Amino acid sequence: MSTVDTHAGHSDTHHHDHHGPEKGWRRWLLATNHKDIGTMYLLFSLTMFFVGGLMALVIRAELFQPGLQLVNPQFFNSMTTMHALVMIFGAVMPAFVGLANWMIPLQIGAPDMALPRMNNFSFWILPFSFTLLLSTLFVEGGAPASGWTLYPPLSLQTGNAFPLSIFAIHLMGASSIMGAINVIVTIMNMRAPGMTLLKMPLFAWTWLITAYLLIAVMPVLAGAVTMLLTDHYFGTSFFSAAGGGDPVMYQHIFWFFGHPEVYIMILPAFGVISEIIPTFARKRLFGYDAMVYATASIAFLSFIVWAHHMFTVGMPLAGQMFFMLATMLIAVPTGVKVFNWTATIYKGSLSFEPPMLFALAFVFLFTIGGFSGLMLAIVPADFQYHDTYFVVAHFHYVLVPGAVFALMAGVYYWLPKWTGHMYNMTLAKWHFWLSAIFVNVLFFPQHFLGLAGMPRRIPDYNTQFADWNMISSIGAFGFGLSQLLFAVVIFQAIRGGAKATDKVWDSAAPHGLEWTLSSPPPYHSFEVAPEVK
Amino acid sequence: MAHADTTHAPSDKYYVPHSSPWPIVGSLALFTTVSGAAMLINDSSAGSIVFPLGLVLLAIMFAGWFGNVIKESESRLYNAAVDRSFRMGMMWFIFSEVMFFAAFFGALWYARQYSVPWLGGEGVKIFTKELLWPQYEASWPTNGPEQLGGEFGVIPAFGLPAINTAILLTSGVTITIAHHALKAGNRTVLNIFLALTFLLGFLFVYLQAHEYIEAYQHLNLTLGSGIYGSTFFMLTGFHGFHVTVGAIMLVVIWLRCVRGHFTPTHHFAFEGVAWYWHFVDVVWLGLFIFVYWL
């Protein structure tokens, strides 16, 4: 990566535009400022993180012991379905869009996002669409309970919640597409002079590639759920064998969206980690170019591996072989990334502030999730693991100590830049250690449960699974309660604290234009484009 | 908000609007529309009020938002960089639309390539046929082994659909002539050929409606006619909807042309609509080949 050498003076705050932020509610409802919109995205996602977390705790409370204790099976299934939809579309994706909103214009030296009004539109759609989705908890027939994948024919048995949840998904998709268009246009059109693509910080790079994935697959999800809707209410037979369709066709279309979707949730995480590790290792990122190409390779491969989610549906042998081998190929670029992070740490002058702690835990724990993914990619092995808790353990390892830890690392990394205040380091470290311990107590035993044959999405189970389930549930409550510390640290930093310097981190290394601006940055960041050497 | 000041040349500063009511109005409009649609689907009578209300709000939002943008554009607030942003934005929006259609084309391909032959017992799927529907012979078009919706006929490709193809292709030519006229500063030709373009668009929609009536009333080809009816109506239906939207966009652009908007060098809105129009044209060619013809 070439140095981003900016001179003081570009960050000066002389405004040509004398407008400050609007007063009161108008600032937020009518927002066009990328920082305000980024803040709304992040706070919305934090709220959804707790809503989805509560649903997870309902699940783990019911699974604390065998037998049916707290909720009926239908509601239990609603919880697994809603937990996933809320966490994916409400917590993780908006959080990354929030980071993108805040950081991409700062990192590339732009005055704002390229399409500021559409930026606001893509945010404000979300609270409305989650109102729709969450309202299904109270309608006749209950919330959707077919799993977030909404496989027919099961999902077609959903009651009045069905059109509400389908339309909610349409709106979330529209929001994501608009957000992605904004990211692409901002990066391709708004970079400061001299900021060539291969000088861009990796967070911007990974988001650029993620945005292409979003535009390519969110419309496909919209198509898939539209077919569900018409199959349910308007007499079409896309997924009905009686009419010449096929329920498996839904799975193909869904996972054509679904697999790129999981990379949509992890590629920006890779970007965040690639920013943080060099800062706290006080070294340049090892293999910048390789990181970019690896990200692009992962994105490309994500389009040709979808059927590994459905090895057990009975697809032709050639299909199984192709999807198995293509899937295993993803380990190569991912391995490049893990190698490069490790090589960046190697002989670095490390310090262990909260962002670095989360980043290191990410590298280690995400890799565990990657390895279990490799196991699942093997067709004959997958026949055993499919729909067991092993799968649950796998994707929670890549999503919780993976994507979510990267988000927390990113928040702890940039929070002083956003608020202008240093946060409570001690409390943040407590948050880290409690999270890192409990997340393993929570998810590691699920590997054993899955390998022993415990199926996913069931409210009751054989007594042989009792011990590990109890441990997992204890981990869940420990992890959930630890997250309250996260909220406390954030709100304390918003209210006040020691003044953060422009560079924030006591490191020679923090790269990127964001550190040339004051903390917090002026309302309109780069009205005069900085020169990047 | 924009301070209209036509005496200024396009600024070299990237225009960032200060604040805008339209996104939140749009979010509320979408919420109202889909809530109303869900109520209608769930047989709740409130839907017949909420759904149209949502559509009205949507229309207000579009008029307000685009009106705002048009005013800013005519005030020369947009420099070359803003223009590039709009172009890229439109391009990627059209790409997302392509992917939406890809889902339905994919369903058509999957049905013809896999699900229907498999139901007919092809390859390793022989037991599907033997156990479920031994009498079913795979063919296309089909409404499946249970003959959903009963016997039906199909619209022959070289009747109305071929005429519609000619209409859309011609409209692609007329909009190109209009574009060249705009660039040459020939406003009369521009206005005439742009009007011709949207008239051809509406003619297409009219003939498509005619075709639907024919299908429902005489051929017994309906949305419920198995996988053929499903793919036929969903693909042509979404396409027809896009043509309608595109034609409305053309009308808006035409009204702007008539009022003297756009210059030979500054006319992104015209080009954006033209791209969109070519996009619906290309989708139609796919439909003509894969839905009607082959």
Decide if A344 contacts A281 (C-beta within 8 A).
yes
Among candidates A270, A288, A298, which has minimal Cα distance to A212?
A298
- Rounded to two decimals, the pTM is 0.94
Task: Give residue A16's pLDDT.
Answer: 44
Among candidates B114, B101, B135, B127, which has minimal Cα distance to B231?
B101
The answer to whether A17 is a known catalytic residue is no
Q: Average pLDDT of A359-377?
A: 97
CA distance A107 to chain B (A): 17
Chain-chain contact of A32 with B145 (C-beta, under 8 angstroms):
no
> Helix, strand, coil proportions of chain A in percent (round to 5)?
70, 0, 30
Q: Average pLDDT of B31-53?
A: 96
Give the A window 14-53 contacts with B, CB below 8 Å. 16-17, 19, 22, 26-27, 29-33
CA distance A140 to chain B (A): 10
Chain Cα centroid distance, residue A281: 25
The answer to whether A261 is a known catalytic residue is yes
Task: Give residue B85's pLDDT.
Answer: 96
Question: Which residues make Cβ contacts (< 8 Å) with residue A84, sequence separation at least 6?
Answer: A147, A148
Distance CA A203, CA A205 (A): 5
The answer to whether A531 is a known catalytic residue is no
Residue B274, SS3 per DSSP: helix
Is residue B4 over pLDDT 60? no
Is residue A20 over pLDDT 80? no
- Out of A32, A174, A248, the one facing B17 most closely (by C-beta) is A32
Decide if A174 contacts A163 (C-beta within 8 A).
no
Query: Looking at beta carbons, which residues of chain A come within 8 Å of B101?
Result: 223
Chain-chain contact of A244 with B228 (C-beta, under 8 angstroms):
yes
Active-site choice (A456, A501, A502, A531): A456
In degrees, rounded to 5, the angle at the alpha carbon of residue A379 between the alpha carbons of residues A378 and A380 is: 100
ipTM (interface pTM): 0.94
CA of A229: which chain B residue's CA is closest? B41
DSSP annotation string for A336-373: HHHHHHHHHHTT------HHHHHHHHHHHHHHHHHHHH
Is the CB of residue A160 less than 8 Å away from at least one CB of chain B? Answer: yes
Decide if A301 contacts A330 (C-beta within 8 A).
yes
| Paired strand residues for A455 | A388
Q: What is the pLDDT of residues A404-459, one digit of tens each?
A: 999 999 999 999 999 999 999 999 999 999 999 999 999 999 999 999 999 999 99
Is the CB of residue A242 less than 8 Å away from at least one CB of chain B? Answer: yes
Among candidates B241, B173, B175, which has minimal Cα distance to B208?
B241
A289-323 exposure pattern, b = at least 16 Cβ within 10 A, e = fewer: eebbebbbbbbebbeebbbbbbbeeebeeeebebb
Active-site choice (A11, A186, A302, A334): A334
Task: Give residue A84's pLDDT.
Answer: 98
CA distance A57 to chain B (A): 29
Task: Give residue B9's pLDDT.
Answer: 52
Is the CB of residue A118 less than 8 Å away from at least one CB of chain B? Answer: yes
Is the CB of residue A235 less than 8 Å away from at least one CB of chain B? Answer: yes
Q: What is the pLDDT of residues A489-522, one digit of tens each?
A: 999 999 999 999 999 997 665 678 899 899 999 9
Handedness of CA A67, A70, A74, A80 (dihedral sign): negative
Chain-chain contact of A219 with B104 (C-beta, under 8 angstroms):
no
Distance CA B87, CA B272 (A): 7
| Residue A450 buriedness (CB in 10 A; 0-12 / 13-18 / 19+) | buried
Q: Give the Cβ contact number of residue B1 at 10 Å.
A: 11
- Checking A444-449 for CB contacts under 8 A at 24+ apart, the result is A444/A393, A445/A469, A445/A471, A445/A472, A445/A475, A446/A389, A446/A390, A446/A392, A446/A393, A446/A396, A446/A472, A447/A372, A447/A389, A447/A390, A447/A393, A449/A388, A449/A389, A449/A390, A449/A393
Chain-chain contact of A115 with B146 (C-beta, under 8 angstroms):
no
Residue type for A91, please? A
Chain-chain contact of B115 with A246 (C-beta, under 8 angstroms):
yes
Among candidates A265, A301, A284, A119, which has minimal Cα distance to A201?
A284
Decide if A430 contacts A387 (C-beta within 8 A).
no
Query: Looking at beta carbons, which residues of chain A come within 8 Å of B283?
Result: none
Distance CA A224, CA A214 (A): 15
Among candidates B259, B230, B243, B48, which has minimal Cα distance to B165?
B243
Q: Average pLDDT of A244-261?
A: 97
Q: Average pLDDT of B171-184?
A: 97
Among candidates A81, A115, A425, which has minimal Cα distance to B84?
A115
Q: What is the pLDDT of residues B55-113, one digit of tens each?
A: 999 999 999 999 999 999 999 999 999 999 999 999 999 999 999 999 999 999 999 99
Distance CA B12, CA B4 (A): 17
Decide if A85 contacts A508 (C-beta within 8 A).
no
Q: What is the pLDDT of residues A114-136, one digit of tens each?
A: 999 999 999 999 999 999 999 99
CA distance B171 to chain A (A): 27
- Out of B88, B103, B114, the one facing A189 most closely (by C-beta) is B88
Residue labelled with tokens 């992962």: A298
The answer to whether A429 is a known catalytic residue is no
